[in-house]
Amino acid sequence: MAIRRASLAAAAILPVGGPSGVPGQNGRDGTNGRDGVVRSIAGVSKPDLTLVDIGAAPAVPSRFLIDGGATVTPQDVYTSAFPGVALSDTSQAVLDVAPGDQRDNLSAVAGYVRTRSGGAGFVGKGNAVALFGCVQIAANYSAGWGGNILITDHTERAVSNGTGRIATGFELDFNIMSPNTHVTGISIGGNSLSQPTDANGFLVNSLGTGIKWNAGFWSLDGCARYALVAGVLEISGKNIGSQPILLQYFDGSGVKQTSQIQAAGGFAVISGAPNGLKLSFGNVGLDPGYVFTVGGVQVVAGRKTGWTAGSGTPNRGSFNADYTQTMGASYSQAQIQALQNQLLATQQRLLALESDLRAHGLIGA
């Protein structure tokens, strides 16, 4: 788990000074004096902002833009989450919201874009990005993060009893006015040349040692037509199944096992579950005309109707299907009675079968 963040190339800071960010140089949209105090940004007076030198990072001056009324530094904020870790960022911004401040949408760093290029198709040119970063991992055993946000709900790393605090990692709002606009909440992809041995689109980690999320993913009521869509395993072909969904569990020996759900061959296929499918509650429902099959052979279909229930005493006890009765040249009363008894036993056996088939719903009125 990362405890450091990727460097923040804060484009919003650039208009304060020249390209080098050195106090005293006029920027394209901002001016400042040699004392480092920002006089204006894009023609708007900002006397409460100060550009402060906090030392040197490798090859690039480290600076941060700080609100003149702030009582904390970036290091103060970060130390509250991870004590003992020193910052070494290219650019920093800190926002200190005072007690009782009722303003909305206060931001430490923000980007604003208006695009009128007219060249953006489904995958086109002329696209615009409010905040952008690029990371190059140029040496073995190095790691890079495109973005990393750390949120803490306390001023120190200690258990607290604070109330009414809300921590939201990312909120993406889309105010769409045209039904013809293509909307994508989050898109992950790339232009790779090699297939990585380990590549996961989304990874849910713990909130801490033994501390869990209530749900790894939750689609709220009425918010989506489909909660999840798993596409085909390949982009084209014949008899290609869907991308499978894997479910893992520990068996009685503590060994992790994996079951798989996949659409293939016209079926929803469950595999890797040695005990098969189990329903803890509820019923299995089939629409009319559908049946249960084993190896492609029908074994159970819909109810056969037109049956009138039999009467009498069913026999689910012992039954000798091999019983025979020896008959003499002249029938005796005992022989006829034995045949009658066997016929009665057969009738009772048939009634038992009928009753059970009716109870299972395979036959009925």
Q: pLDDT tens digits, residue range 283-337?
A: 888 888 888 888 888 888 888 888 888 888 888 888 788 888 778 778 788 888 9
In the prediction, which pLDDT does 66 show?
Answer: 54
Which of 19-33, 170-184, 330-344 is predicted least confidently?
19-33
In the prediction, which pLDDT does 152 show?
Answer: 94
In the prediction, which pLDDT does 51 show?
Answer: 52
Torsion sign, CA atoms 104, 110, 116, 119? negative
In the predicted model, what is the mean pLDDT of the chain?
A: 80
Residue 37 DSSP symbol: B
Task: Say whether pLDDT at 11 is over 50.
Answer: no
- CA 199 – CA 242 distance, rounded (Å): 19
Residue 229: pLDDT band with limits 50, 70, 90 = very high
pTM of the entire predicted model? 0.68
In the prediction, which pLDDT does 65 show?
Answer: 56
The closest of 90, 81, 7, 80 to 56, measured between CA atoms, is 90
Residue 16: pLDDT band with limits 50, 70, 90 = very low
Torsion sign, CA atoms 16, 17, 18, 21? negative
In which region does residue 338 sit, left (phi positive, over 0), alpha (psi from -120 to 50) or beta (all else)? alpha
Q: What angle do CA 77, 110, 154 make, to 5 degrees?
A: 20
Q: What angle do CA 74, 80, 82 make, to 5 degrees?
A: 95
Task: Say whether pLDDT at 235 is over 90.
Answer: yes
Torsion sign, CA atoms 175, 176, 181, 182? positive
- CA 46 – CA 148 distance, rounded (Å): 29
Half-sphere exposure in the Cβ direction for 226 (13 Å, CA): 4
- CA 326 – CA 25 distance, rounded (Å): 122
8 A C-beta contact, residue 327 and residue 338: no
Residue 154: pLDDT band with limits 50, 70, 90 = very high
Which of 31-40, 42-51, 62-71 is predicted least confidently?
31-40
By three-state DSSP, how is residue 291 classified?
A: coil
Show Cβ contacts of residue 251 under 8 Å, excluding neighbours closer than 6 positions. Answer: 257
